[in-house]
Structure 1
Amino acid sequence: MNKPAAAPSVLVIGAVLTLLVAANPVSTDTLAPGVPALRDYFGVSTSSANLVFSTYVFAFGFMQLIYGPIADRFGRRPVLLIAMSLYCVATILCAFAPTFETLLLARALQGASASAAPALARAVIRDLYGVDGSRKVMSYVMSAFGIFAIGAPAVGGILVAWQGWQASFFFCTVYGLVTIAAVFVYLKESRPEGAPDALKLSTTFALYVRLTPNPRFAVNCVSNLLMYSAMFVWLSGSMLVIVDGYGISPDIGGLLFAFGSAGFMAGAAVAGRLGTRLGPHILIMTGSAIAIFAAAIIVLLGYLEVRNGVAVALPALVWMFGHGLHYPQSMAAAVAPFPENAGAASSLIGFYQTTAGAIAAIAIGILHDGSAVPFGGLMLGLSIAALISYAPFYRRFL
């Protein structure tokens, strides 16, 4: 009699989940170095070329609301396999787009399909590891995710220099195929029994209306999206300060940018080790406090006109460490109260994150004056708001 096949190890499942969570940085950061070449290839303006990001992000954020209920109805695994297959098709269309308009449409499809991966990865973590275990696993997954955040721009730069902007999309296609294979082989269905009417439009919106004001969801979600918005200020504004404002070369600027990702990895790893012992509340508030301190240093050095990239990157490393403590804990805590609707809850918080991050990116573009003061000031204000939105309420509601 044959023995049943052994279940995949936690390490293997963690690797699959990391691939899923990494869909966004792989799809955006690898393309970033190729935008000038893409702009010249299609003969469009720089502002038009940047639409390859805004169309992607808009579709990515909106579809966060759709995948959760679908996965709660039909399961995580089939939705992931279909979405990642569409992702590969869209990515190939991007690489061979004959016109800029076609590229934008393909990017929108790429973003719409890619959003299933991180949204449902969070739901799978909650399905498999429960309330307490999900926080620890999320911290480890986000720590491994940092490797993609550091490596994606470097890989993209090498590929663009070697084969042009299309090469970044070929890389994304390979990533998509590897992810499909990993999900197919190693990720078994984890969804609890879902409601049969989960796909009804009225039911879906009623669910979102019910989730949003729930105190346990709202307190964690608001704090999470405020810190996420501050991170978007770093992602979209750091090179404006370091390269444009301080005149540092882009290659050195890219290395300095990696400081932030390294800090996030370290924070997420620490949260993974200490999450069960200390609990999410202490880590969320500690992460916010560290972020406030680090952002204040950025503002102070900018006000003193210390025009040095390290003066931005080192405090940003500390800020991202605090974010690494905060993000996985607040994310897991927001989804934890809803085991039957974990997919919908994770999708809703993902939508709020993306929307808030896009607004923050627009804000830093307006406020930027070449110094680190508005950059750090916006990060400081959002970090303070993240702590204020959480600390007074967690004992009452959480």
Structure 2
Amino acid sequence: MSANLVVLALSLLLGIQPVTTDLYLPALPAITAEFGASLAQAQLTLSAMLLAFGLSQLVWGPVSDRFGRRPVLLIGLAGYTVAAAASAFAASMETLLVWRIIQGAAMGASVMCARALVRDLYTPEVGARVISKGLTGLGVIACLNLPIGGILAEVFGWRVTLLAPAVFAAGTLALVALRFRETLSAPNPHALAPATLLRTWARILRHPTFWAFTLLASASYAGLFTILAMSSFVFITLMGLSKLGYGLLMVSMTGSYLAGTVLCRYLLLRLGVIRTVMVGGGLTAAGGTLLGVLALAGAHTPMGLMPAIWLFAVGHGIHQACGQAGAVGPFPQAAGAASALSGFLMMLAAFGMGSGLGRVVDGTLFPMTNGVWLSGVATALVAWGLVRRVRL
């Protein structure tokens, strides 16, 4: 496959995650009202989906090491398309939750294979630059999600916002079926043997580089998840923004994330992975702390809070590229298993954050601002502590 096709495939395979998490956010208050559900139940459609996404990767990873990336992608994308279409016709919050969980499980195949194929084709340092290009494409997709979601919800209703991801997945499935070539040069026939699988997981979990980069990506994603889970209620319900206005506001955050992925590539060429991550740690700590302080100081308006969110998003763009490539870097023969474990732990962190948010929701913006503050500080501690000690 050409380099451009690899980047396009990465953008779409990684981009299915923000399509799943972001597109329906402008409609989430309407979905909650339609079904007479609580805020905690509404957030469960996001957090439970992400937990299924993380758990499923533990299965998809070894299966892809055994049979290759392409068949796993075809099965996963087909299953996702069906589940996404079915969710649009859910008659209750419980039914919607079930289909969202199935969506998350199928989505695991797409994102896990995207991270693994980078290791199939590239060394860790080159892989970080390539995956940052894919994440730039993801950022473009994410930029479009929220305004499109707002328009669809405003004009056609919330069910269409749930149907749109099925269209995206069907298009990605067509590209994989027609153009994608297998990237795993030597499938492991023993990858699914229980003894082999346990030894592989144990080897991965004992590796300090895996933990450093996985914790980096997880801590940063926990902050983004907090924004995704709470921002529609903060900006639409508490501050009175329209669905379209909220979507445009989130586009600006995604633009900052895009800038972070571009900055990441610039810094990687000049500073290397470790020092780039340390710069990113400073950005996330500054953004999270600024957001918490602004909220405490009474800056309870969209433009009062957004500068801090923009700063956090720039750092997130750095940490996701470096974290996802770095976690699988030491395991060229088990990239699927390493990608799966890293993805599972990242989603476990997001689920933990979502569960915590559900318990502390108090009708104010502080659960969101304090959650991002905590994430920013934790990300910086990992960057300046664990990642700094890694030898690549």
The Cα offsets for residues 267-287 of structure 1, whole Å up to 9 and x where unpaired, read as: 101212332332111111100
Change (3 A) 1:189 1:155: same
CA distance in 2, matches of 1:91, 1:146: 21
Change (3 A) 1:364 1:202: same
CA distance in 2, matches of 1:311, 1:353: 30
Q: Paired residue for 1:168?
A: 161
CA distance in 1, matches of 2:102, 2:141: 22
Change (3 A) 1:132 1:322: same
Q: Paired residue for 1:118?
A: 111
CA contact 1:237–1:365 (8 Å) conserved in 2? no
Q: Paired residue for 2:227?
A: 234
Corresponding position: 1:253 with 2:246: yes
Return the match for 1:343 from 327, 336, 343. 336
CA contact 2:284–2:316 (8 Å) conserved in 1? yes
Larger CA deviation: 11-20 vs 103-112: 103-112
Return the match for 1:332 from 325, 339, 349. 325
Corresponding position: 1:82 with 2:53: no
Q: Paired residue for 2:63?
A: 70
CA distance in 2, matches of 1:245, 1:371: 8
Offset of residue 97 of structure 1: 4.0
Corresponding position: 1:137 with 2:124: no
Q: Paired residue for 2:276?
A: 283
CA contact 2:214–2:342 (8 Å) conserved in 1? yes
The one-letter code matched in structure 1 to 2:133 is Y
CA distance in 2, matches of 1:229, 1:251: 25
Aligned residues: 391
Q: Paired residue for 1:223?
A: 216
CA distance in 2, matches of 1:188, 1:146: 24
The one-letter code matched in structure 2 to 1:347 is A
Structure 2 unaligned segments of length 5 or more: list them. none
Change (3 A) 1:233 1:97: closer
Offset of residue 377 of structure 1: 3.5
The one-letter code matched in structure 2 to 1:340 is Q
Return the match for 1:154 from 144, 147, 151. 147
CA distance in 2, matches of 1:160, 1:102: 20
Return the match for 2:121 from 128, 136, 140. 128
SS at match of 1:298: helix
CA distance in 2, matches of 1:170, 1:232: 22
CA contact 2:287–2:376 (8 Å) conserved in 1? no
CA distance in 2, matches of 1:342, 1:215: 16
Change (3 A) 1:303 1:33: closer
CA contact 1:230–1:382 (8 Å) conserved in 2? yes
The structure with the larger Rg is 1
Offset of residue 62 of structure 1: 0.8
Q: Paired residue for 1:104?
A: 97
> What is the TM-score normalised by the length of structure 1?
0.90
CA distance in 2, matches of 1:299, 1:42: 33
CA distance in 1, matches of 2:101, 2:174: 24
CA distance in 1, matches of 2:290, 2:29: 33
CA contact 2:70–2:176 (8 Å) conserved in 1? yes
Larger CA deviation: 247-256 vs 220-229: 247-256
CA contact 2:288–2:377 (8 Å) conserved in 1? no
Q: Paired residue for 1:3?
A: none
Return the match for 2:369 from 356, 372, 376. 376
Offset of residue 110 of structure 1: 1.6
Change (3 A) 1:317 1:129: same
CA contact 2:12–2:172 (8 Å) conserved in 1? yes
Matches within 5 A, 1:172-251: 172-251=165-244
Corresponding position: 1:358 with 2:377: no
Larger CA deviation: 364-373 vs 230-239: 364-373
Change (3 A) 1:125 1:168: same
Larger CA deviation: 172-181 vs 373-382: 373-382
Q: Paired residue for 1:5?
A: none
The one-letter code matched in structure 2 to 1:363 is G
Q: Paired residue for 2:312?
A: 319
Q: Paired residue for 1:10?
A: 3
Over aligned residue pairs, what C-alpha RMSD do you find?
2.4
